[in-house]
Amino acid sequence: MVGLVVKNTGSWYQVKTDSGELIECKMKGHFRMQDIRSTNPIAVGDMVEFDKNADGTAMIHTICERRNYIVRRSSNLSKYSQILAANLDLVALIVTVNYPETSTVFIDRFLATAEAYRVPACIVFNKIDRYSVQEKEYLDGLERLYNILDYPVFKISALHSENITGLMTFLEGKTTLFSGNSGVGKSTLINAIAPNSLAKTGEISSYHNKGMHTTTFSEMFELLAGGHIIDTPGIKGFGTIDMEEAEVGHYFKEIFEYSKKCKFANCTHVHEPECAVLNAVDQNFISATRYQSYLSVMKDCHEGKYR
């Protein structure tokens, strides 16, 4: 039998067949014997083949060929990756200027990974109802920065359903991964645009202004207008993986464009003379925050470990 993985609890997988039947599946042990350096060889969004048992459960024995997927470095096992989702049309990074604060390094690492795995990305700034005047001005600056780089930006309040209509229209017909730091309001947003989901919501730790994990497993929700959302547990850091130093600049759009004018073909854009990228940073044609994010990924590659 063949079905779509719609939930991953870590030990069990819920698979949906073409007829709409939901079947609880486990993974056959041979997956762990293969050369798969991932903490979760099967991900939500995968099409899989399985054999059904007499008790109604089933064993997954084959993953069908993936159209694409996106990964992050596992924070606990630095040499292993974590597959966030597979067969995607879009990744939506849910972020907040505050409550809790999302760093631009986190945003840029995520976008670079999306570029590396050739998955289109957008950024959703949530909780705009809570921002001060200064925070709104900062948000406007971020919106200009990422719009220039051709990343769609949405500014919303999931709690008050503010500006959500445009985002819902953008998501129609797509399979979209929702990702972001803990506490940015992913579950609240999913409840607003997919009311049948009943995604669990949580509170913010006021002491650290950080989110507390509420989603403990990955799950797919269906949109009434067509399309799906894949919700994933909140993540505190985004470690890149499988990137060589020479490739990192390819995944920062503006750095890649300016790098074509560098004197040396193997320029790392860190210390070389007549580097067009460094010159563009000095002249503010490349954002200083984006360049710092580039250096942080380069550091990962150089050290060969999770940062």
Tell me how far apart the alpha carbons of residues 299 and 52 are, in angstroms, rounded to a whole number: 47
22-27 and 58-63 beta bridge pairing: parallel
266 φψ region: left (φ > 0), alpha (ψ -120 to 50), beta (else): alpha
- What pLDDT is attached to residue 198? 57
Q: Are the beta carbons of 166 and 195 closer than 8 angstroms?
A: no
Tell me how far apart the alpha carbons of residues 104 and 70 are, in angstroms, rounded to a whole number: 20
Residue whose C-alpha is closest to residue 219's, from 13, 1, 32, 2: 13
- What pLDDT is attached to residue 67? 94
Q: What is the pTM of this model?
A: 0.87
Q: How many residues does the chain have?
A: 307
- What pLDDT is attached to residue 44? 96
Residues in CB range of 244: below 8 A, 6 or more apart: 301
Tell me how far apart the alpha carbons of residues 241 and 50 are, in angstroms, rounded to a whole number: 30
**Structural domains of the chain, ranges and CATH numbers in brackets:** 2-63 (2.40.50.140), 69-231 (3.40.50.300), 245-303 (1.10.40.50)
Could you report the average pLDDT of every consecutive run of 10 residues in the chain (307 residues)?
93 92 86 58 94 87 93 63 91 95 93 93 97 97 97 96 95 96 92 73 44 64 93 69 81 97 95 96 97 92 52
Q: Which run of H or of E encompasses 42?
A: none
83 φψ region: left (φ > 0), alpha (ψ -120 to 50), beta (else): beta
Tell me how far apart the alpha carbons of residues 73 and 116 are, in angstroms, rounded to a whole number: 14
Q: What phi and psi, each to the nearest 5 degrees, are found at residue 109? A: -65, -40
2 to each of 18, 132, 246, how far by Cα in Å? Answer: 8, 51, 40
Q: What phi and psi, each to the nearest 5 degrees, are found at residue 167? A: -65, -45
Handedness of CA 34, 238, 113, 258 (dihedral sign): negative
- What pLDDT is attached to residue 260? 96
CA terminus-to-terminus distance, the chain: 41
Q: Are the beta carbons of 16 and 4 closer than 8 angstroms?
A: yes
Tell me how far apart the alpha carbons of residues 90 and 118 are, in angstroms, rounded to a whole number: 10
Core vs surface per residue 84-93: b (16+ CB within 10 A) or e = bbbbbbbbbb
